[in-house]
């Protein structure tokens, strides 16, 4: 289990950086994965921009989104999104919350994202909208209270993703690689859908096509191939995370010199 956990933590750090490098995450947004040995816990970084995350940043949380060990670092304010979805959906093993530029026009205009090309089928037939204002009135739009996270999880229902009005999106997956693939292809789909509007009315996949193409996109061979591709792009950019539980920040060099 220890080796499996260490590998998954390394994979989570890599997933954060891939999603940042591919334009899904920016300074904000976060990715989590359910604990491989305890379904009542999940793994998520301390509060840090996803492109910088390394294995040493990853912490364990209960499904109430409380850190298992007293935290020494600042935590993500919106972590209830993750805990509430894991509580509501036994089948969900990984969650990504983001504000990607590709989806924001849809979240602002309240227009649905629909699968418009074969790889876009990874998002499923549709993604429901959740407007925090409907239930909670004026807020700063961050999902921080358990009741807000539970409401979001209710709207997500059995879907693969939920769009959050004037805020962003939350995507779920049966595993980390599946989640990364779905998040990236959903953003590509949103980009193509918006661009196709300049040429006419975008055509969407038929329900049967969504089912068949969606199944294809989840095949291990496909998911492994895309993961390898995005990892290589990240590597080429020089942003691959260090292995192992690295220090949370660089040791203070001046202090080290004084010791000597
Ligand atoms: Zn957010």
The model's confidence at residue 1, banded by pLDDT at 50, 70 and 90, is low
CA 18 to chain centroid: 11
- Distance from the alpha carbon of residue 259 to the mean position of ligand 1, in angstroms: 43
Quote the mean pLDDT of the chain.
93
Mean pLDDT of 142-168: 98
**Other CB atoms within 10 Å distance of the CB of residue 162:** 23
In tens, the pLDDT along 199-250 reads 999 999 999 999 999 999 889 999 999 999 999 999 999 999 887 554 444 4
- Distance from the alpha carbon of residue 143 to the mean position of ligand 1, in angstroms: 7
Mean pLDDT of 109-119: 98
Q: How far apart are CA 231 and CA 181, in angstroms?
A: 12
CA distances from 124 to 81, 100, 143, 173, 181 (A): 20, 18, 24, 11, 13
Percent of the chain with pLDDT over 70: 93
Strands (E), 24-142: 30-34, 41-45, 58-62, 94-98, 129-130
Q: What is the pLDDT of residue 245?
A: 53
Residue 8 has pLDDT above 60, yes or no: yes
| pTM of the entire predicted model | 0.92
Residue 162 has pLDDT above 70, yes or no: yes
Q: What is the pLDDT of residue 254?
A: 37
Phi-psi label, residue 55: left if phi above 0, alpha if psi -120 to 50, beta otherwise: alpha
Comparing 258 with 131, the larger pLDDT belongs to 131
Percent of the chain with pLDDT over 90: 89
- Distance from the alpha carbon of residue 3 to the mean position of ligand 1, in angstroms: 32
Q: How far apart are CA 94 and CA 13, in angstroms?
A: 13
Longest dimension (CA), the chain: 70
- Distance from the alpha carbon of residue 256 to the mean position of ligand 1, in angstroms: 38
Residue 170 φ/ψ, nearest 5 degrees: -130, 130
Residue 190 has pLDDT above 90, yes or no: yes
Q: What is the pLDDT of residue 172?
A: 98
Please identify every residue annotated as catalytic: 78
- Distance from the alpha carbon of residue 257 to the mean position of ligand 1, in angstroms: 41
In tens, the pLDDT along 56-85 reads 999 999 999 999 999 889 999 999 999 999
Residue 259 has pLDDT above 50, yes or no: no
Q: What is the pLDDT of residue 256?
A: 38
């Amino acid at each position: 289990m220890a080796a499996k956990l260490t590998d998954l933590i390394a994979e989570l750090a890599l997933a954060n950086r891939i999603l940042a490098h591919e334009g899904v995450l920016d300074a904000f947004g976060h990715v989590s994965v359910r604990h491989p040995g305890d379904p009542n816990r999940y793994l998520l970084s301390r509060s840090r921009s996803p492109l910088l995350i390394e294995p040493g940043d990853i912490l364990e949380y209960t499904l109430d989104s409380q850190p298992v060990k007293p935290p020494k670092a600042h935590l993500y304010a919106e972590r209830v999104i993750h805990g509430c979805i894991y509580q509501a959906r036994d089948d969900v093993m990984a969650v990504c919350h983001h504000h990607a530029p590709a989806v924001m026009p849809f979240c602002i205009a309240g227009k649905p994202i629909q699968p418009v090309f074969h790889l876009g089928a990874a998002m499923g037939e549709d993604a429901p909208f959740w407007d925090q204002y409907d239930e909670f009135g004026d807020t700063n739009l961050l999902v921080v209270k358990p009741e807000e996270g539970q409401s979001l999880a209710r709207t997500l229902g059995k879907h693969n993703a939920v769009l959050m009005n004037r805020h962003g999106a939350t995507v779920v997956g049966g595993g980390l690689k599946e989640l990364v693939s779905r998040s990236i292809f959903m953003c590509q789909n949103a980009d193509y859908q918006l661009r196709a509007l300049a040429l006419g009315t975008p055509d969407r996949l038929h329900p049967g096509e969504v089912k068949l193409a969606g199944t294809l996109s989840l095949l291990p061979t496909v998911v492994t191939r895309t993961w390898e591709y995005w990892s290589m792009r990240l590597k080429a950019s020089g942003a691959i995370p260090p292995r192992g539980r690295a220090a949370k920040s660089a040791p203070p060099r001046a202090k080290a010199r004084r010791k000597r």
